[in-house]
A and B are shown apart, each in its own frame.
Chain A
Amino acid sequence: EAQVTQNPRYLITVTGKKLTVTCSQNMNHEYMSWYRQDPGLGLRQIYYSMNVEVTDKGDVPEGYKVSRKEKRNFPLILESPSPNQTSLYFCASGLAGKPQYFGPGTRLLVL
């Protein structure tokens, strides 16, 4: 089944404790992206990747890191999480100029 998977789905952590949210797709898509969704703000793009070893900042990259060592995986890293990074995170993948396929989301609470 074609899908984008994210892990974990729910995460509670404390300020400053490094965490990684994994994202994997099985559709051989070149393009992958991370978004955060906050009430009243819609979805905002954090980082995106056009292919392996190619990543770029989106609208709100501060406090986040990504890597694209393999085509199928695009982990989101929070080196030192802060409470303002409490949000619902979505990973997405797709082909250039085509619709994106979204993962189920990861709810993060930073205390």
Chain B
Amino acid sequence: SQQGEEDPQALSIQEGENATMNCSYKTSINNLQWYRQNSGRGLVHLILIRSNEREKHSGRLRVTLDTSKKSSSLLITASRAADTASYFCATDASSGNQFYFGTGTSLTVIP
């Protein structure tokens, strides 16, 4: 399987702290995306980073991509209780048509 993996599987932090989660994948990609999922609900897109980009910001989110290591990280700064959710990375196959999701990081932000 070409499925990616997130690390850690679970993360618990205090409100106001930063949360970092990592994603590793196995094949060449066109882009990598991060999604958020509140318990049992549909996924919501957070940020997309292309293979020729190394870093991208969106509000309190910072994503880095290292294609040589086939890895990405998502940093959420100044976390809030409302950030409690599962976070998934998704990569596309070189054709751009098939997507592979990681197994997710469950983030709990304690008020």
Contact = CB atoms under 8 A, between A and B. Distances in A.
Contact of A105 (B40, B45, B92): B40
Interface stretch (B13-21, B59-67, B71-79, B96-104): B96-104
Contact of B45 (A43, A48, A100): A100
A92 B99 CA distance: 11
* Range class of the A interface residue count: 20 to 34
B97 A56 contact: yes
Contacts of A31: 97
Nearest to A42: B103
A88 interface: yes
Interface in B83-97: 88, 90, 92, 96-97
B68 interface: no
24 contacts: A42-B88, A42-B101, A43-B88, A45-B98, A45-B99, A45-B100, A45-B101, A48-B99, A56-B97, A59-B1, A59-B2, A59-B98, A59-B100, A88-B40, A92-B43, A97-B96, A100-B33, A100-B45, A100-B99, A101-B45, A102-B42, A103-B42, A104-B41, A104-B42
